[in-house]
Structure 1
Amino acid sequence: MNAIQETNFQFPGQTAFYRGKVRDVYSFPDKLVMIASDRISAFDVVLPRPIPFKGQVLNQTASYFLKATADIVPNWLLDVPDPNVSIGLKCEPYAVEMVVRGYLAGHAWRQYRDGHRILCGVPLPDGLRENDRLPTPIITPSTKAHEGHDEDISREEILSRSIVPQEEYEQLEQYALALFARGTEMAAQQGLILVDTKYEFGNLDGKVYLIDEVHTPDSSRYFYADTYQANQEAEQPQKQLSKEFVREWLIANGFQGKTGQTIPAMSDEWVNQITTRYIELFEKVTGQSFQPAEATDPVARIETNILRAITVE
């Protein structure tokens, strides 16, 4: 299958281009064209092999949840002209990611396990186990790094350094918690638990917009609800839908994105397994059947659909 490693287009009226860890972003005077590639990143490093259909899963999951949460907060999305493409408003991004956690998992658990009881300025009680539900959802922001690792940061530091004005930051907090509550409800309807997720926001003409992806496997972690309690009581790992299984595989193979470490080789079998897991997540979280896009020449397909969309506009 022809996975999408990268794109290198030059569109009429294009003003800039930015390649992120996963997305290729084409700027226009008032819009962004965002292509979800099949690149996969972990520990803020792009892994060497793309994952077929991963970009389609991300793009279609994000558009599904953006439309389902538009009553909570306005968002950037205007059009989805291709399974891998979203076109939306060009907002000025806030320099923080709003990470909301309902359970002690992933990075938060690793910090807690190592003895930390304050995460991003938020105190955590003693006696918690991995994957325990937190007393209430918490916000643990991180800085948004263009290169290298995002870093934890506290609310107090964000405000003291004027990274985000206080009134606007309080609005981001309210939106993030409301989105997490909606995501929790939608996950429960599908037999899932929304464990944690991150939201990114931007500003356009003084108005806050939700931007980028929402409740996708790259930005979120889900547990299966029906086995959660039994697994916790037995101190067994939770069955989950997220990218955490990729991180766990990397850790088991001696890689955590640290200097001097080498990314382990990814076999065809492993790449196909990741594809299967991403498709499973799409179908489970949305309740929809995944329809693979035409993949003979996906880059040409994407270019044709974008040109058609921006010409119409």
Structure 2
Amino acid sequence: MSLANSVLAVNNDLPIITDQKVHSGKVRSVYWLTAADSKRLIEKNGYNVQSDAPLAIMVISDRISAFDCIWHGEGGIKGVPGKGAALNAVSNHWFKMFKDNGLADSHILDIPHPFVWIVQKAKPVMIEAIARQYITGSMWRSYEKGEREFCGIQLPEGLTKDQKLNDILITPSTKGILKGIPNVPEVDDVNISRQDISNNFKAFNFLNTADVDKYEVLLKQGFNLISGALAELDQVFVDTKFEFGYVKDAAGNDKLIYMDEVGTPDSSRIWDGPNFRNGKVVENSKEGFRQMLLNHFPDPDILLNKNRMPEREALARDNALPEEVIMDISSTYINIAEKITGSKIVLSDNPKQEVIDVLAERFQLIK
């Protein structure tokens, strides 16, 4: 099996029946099903949604993004072997645990293949909901420069790098460019305060102010549940990003749900417990890849400075990373996924064909 063939890098060209443009993000591609196919699947599989709810096929890839760029390896390797399956497996594990513990549902209705989710259309809350248990990363860099207020939260003097915080801090930022909100710049991914959200809850797509409280409760409950489960594996849950949205159930009731992915090595920092107790941070998440990039290139400011995006994009486009770098990050993703789920991540010889076969045979969704 060649490494290049085992990687699903391009995931927006599958022959899935759709009458809309395929939406392709950094990692996932979304195929909106026709109204007839959505209705057929809802009836056939008894999904708890309204009979006319729009459904989509969400296909993950093995692409790896960092610093807002997609990276590749030598030998035509356009992603990280096992990464997509590992991310989905970890998300599936936590989503099930959330549901089993009465937290909230997700947008996922079915998981026909390790790379595929069948999802219902959700109205996203326009917030990147970030929770932090330790001071590290961008928060530490800002703190080190003298900043003491983050998202309306005052931090005490005297904190040290990678120190555990007294409380889980919720430090939200905008998802997309939001216009006309006082004190919130019209750019993507800017920090906002609890007050900004409460004062402008409709602009962030909340239905009411009570749901602003509810999202914070769900965020902390989800964080604590994952943190506790990881602690049992001697892993440290450092920080994470959640996303929320609204869906309607079969009775037409609005539900606030978790969406996108949760607790994955892409959306979270996870540290190895034994090493951390010995004063060493070993990343079991994409943060290790980011740190490698910062060390790999002679001018790390290109990766950290948003004003140098053209140079950064050229860096990612023109530099194939060594195969051992790609395989190191592959091991990180696969090992933490297997540790969390207790199941083996199996690499496929031809993941794209597998996805096509499953969607054809079980769902009749291939042209």
TM value normalised by structure 2: 0.78
* 1:55 aligned onto 2:84: yes
**In 2, Cα distance between equivalents of 1:122 and 1:87:** 38
Question: Which residue number in structure 2 is paired with residue 25 of structure 1?
Answer: 30
Question: Which residue number in structure 1 is paired with residue 344 of structure 2?
Answer: 290
- Which residue identity does 2:30 align to in structure 1? V
CA contact (8 A) 2:107 2:247 kept: no
Provide closer, same or farther for how the CA distance between residues 208 and 107 of structure 1 changes in structure 2, counting only shifts above 3 A: same
1:259-287 per-position Cα deviation (integer Å, ceiling 9, x unaligned): 2332343111111111111111112233x
Post-superposition shift, 1:189? 1.3
Post-superposition shift, 1:85? 1.0
**In 2, Cα distance between equivalents of 1:223 and 1:176:** 20
Post-superposition shift, 1:114? 2.2
More helix by share: 2
* 1:228 aligned onto 2:282: no
> Among 252, 267, 289, which residue is 1:246 paired with?
289
Three-state SS of the structure 1 residue aligned to 2:262 is coil
**In 2, Cα distance between equivalents of 1:54 and 1:86:** 15
Aligned-residue RMSD, C-alpha: 2.0
* 1:44 aligned onto 2:68: yes
**Which of structures 1 and 2 has the bigger CA Rg?**
2
Question: Which residue number in structure 2 is paired with residue 271 of structure 1?
Answer: 326
Post-superposition shift, 1:17? 1.8
**In 2, Cα distance between equivalents of 1:208 and 1:201:** 7
**In 1, Cα distance between equivalents of 2:213 and 2:79:** 38
Q: Which moved more, 1:118-127 or 1:132-141?
A: 118-127
CA contact (8 A) 2:91 2:262 kept: yes
> Among 342, 354, 357, which residue is 1:304 paired with?
357
* 1:110 aligned onto 2:164: no
- Which residue identity does 1:223 align to in structure 2? W
CA contact (8 A) 1:6 1:24 kept: no
**In 2, Cα distance between equivalents of 1:227 and 1:9:** 43
Q: Where does the alignment leave 5 or more consecutive residues of structure 1 unmatched?
A: 232-236
CA contact (8 A) 1:192 1:285 kept: no
Q: How does 1:48-127 map to 2 (within 5 A)?
A: 48=72, 49-70=78-99, 71-127=102-158
Question: Which residue number in structure 2 is paired with residue 12 of structure 1?
Answer: 17
Three-state SS of the structure 2 residue aligned to 1:240 is coil
CA contact (8 A) 1:94 1:203 kept: yes
Post-superposition shift, 1:21? 0.7
Post-superposition shift, 1:299? 1.1
**In 2, Cα distance between equivalents of 1:99 and 1:106:** 13
1:29-53 per-position Cα deviation (integer Å, ceiling 9, x unaligned): 5212111101111122222331111
**In 1, Cα distance between equivalents of 2:63 and 2:112:** 20
Aligned length: 304
Question: Which residue number in structure 1 is paired with residue 184 of structure 2?
Answer: none
Post-superposition shift, 1:13? 4.5
**In 1, Cα distance between equivalents of 2:263 and 2:79:** 21
1:53-95 per-position Cα deviation (integer Å, ceiling 9, x unaligned): 1111111111111111112111112211111111122111111
Q: How does 1:178-189 map to 2 (within 5 A)?
A: 178-189=221-232
* 1:190 aligned onto 2:221: no
